[in-house]
């Protein structure tokens, strides 16, 4: 019985580990045109050169897929994951530009979304002082701000996690720049979305099996004592 209980525990753990990231190209590593080392590629609204993503925003705006070896004004810009990261401010006049991706979802299922926001706080340059990402899925999921004050010469990353329940068979996630017009960097990287399933009550047979396993384990321990 003890072995049965252990098997159940490992099976449940395996199910959790098997949950896949539903986001395509969440670390912005794949592009139609390779990003030069130490540089960046710009993408305007409607562009699909960032695999899996569509650029959104007003006409004349853009976002940048940036090399992790990029430097400017003595500031270094490492990626949080992989070799590239996305700058939501691009090179254009800083506005509400961003990226969107549509994912197949199951109505009633809960989803856990994790992403990282990069910031530089260097008033002597055009980088700083905070980085804010505005997130939506047809309705607002909130604003998420990296307010680090020690990131003067190197971009630092902060992880954020939020959840939502799908109300449609497809969900479009939008990550929009929320920085002021004077802040010329707003990092986004390592985006992950996991289906955590629908709320459920264990079947009676499962409850009985777990209960009998626990009783058997208690009896085994007493016998061994």
Does residue 140 lie within any of the structural domains?
Answer: yes
Distance CA 153, CA 73 (A): 9
Report pLDDT digits (tens) over 53-74.
999 999 999 999 999 999 999 9
In three-state secondary structure terms, 136 is strand
Total structural domains within the chain:
1
Could you tell me the residue range of the domain that residue 178 belongs to? 2-91+103-146+158-197
Whether pTM > 0.95 for this model: the answer is no
Report pLDDT digits (tens) over 98-154.
999 999 999 999 999 999 999 999 989 999 899 999 999 989 999 999 999 999 999
Distance CA 183, CA 84 (A): 20
Distance CA 148, CA 102 (A): 31
Does residue 224 lie within any of the structural domains?
Answer: no
Report pLDDT digits (tens) over 180-224.
988 999 999 999 999 999 976 555 554 444 455 544 444 444 444
Distance CA 38, CA 25 (A): 20
Give me the CATH number covering residue 131: 2.60.120
Least Cα distance to 144 among 101, 91, 98 occurs for 98
Report pLDDT digits (tens) over 147-192.
999 999 999 999 999 999 999 999 999 999 999 988 999 999 999 9
Does residue 203 lie within any of the structural domains?
Answer: no
């Amino acid at each position: 019985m003890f072995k049965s209980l252990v098997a159940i525990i490992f099976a449940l753990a395996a199910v959790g580990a098997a949950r896949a990231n539903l986001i395509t190209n969440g670390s912005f590593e794949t592009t139609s045109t390779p990003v030069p080392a130490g540089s960046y590629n710009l993408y305007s609204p409607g562009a699909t050169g960032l695999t899996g993503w569509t650029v959104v925003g007003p006409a004349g705006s853009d976002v940048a897929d940036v090399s992790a070896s990029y430097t400017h004004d003595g500031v270094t810009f490492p990626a949080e994951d992989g070799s590239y990261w996305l700058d939501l401010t691009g090179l254009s006049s800083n506005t509400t530009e961003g990226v969107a991706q549509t994912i197949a979802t199951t109505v009633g299922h809960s989803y856990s979304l994790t992403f990282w926001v990069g910031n530089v706080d260097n008033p002597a340059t055009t980088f700083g002082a905070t980085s804010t990402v505005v997130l939506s899925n047809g309705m607002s999921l909130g604003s998420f701000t990296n307010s680090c004050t020690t990131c003067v010469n190197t971009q630092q990353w902060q992880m954020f996690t939020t959840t939502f329940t799908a109300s449609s068979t497809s969900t479009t996630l939008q990550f929009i720049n929320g920085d002021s017009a004077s802040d010329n960097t707003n990092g986004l990287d390592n985006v992950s979305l996991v289906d955590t399933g629908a709320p459920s009550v264990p079947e009676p047979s499962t409850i009985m099996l777990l209960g009998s396993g626990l009783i058997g384990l208690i009896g085994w321990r007493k016998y061994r004592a």
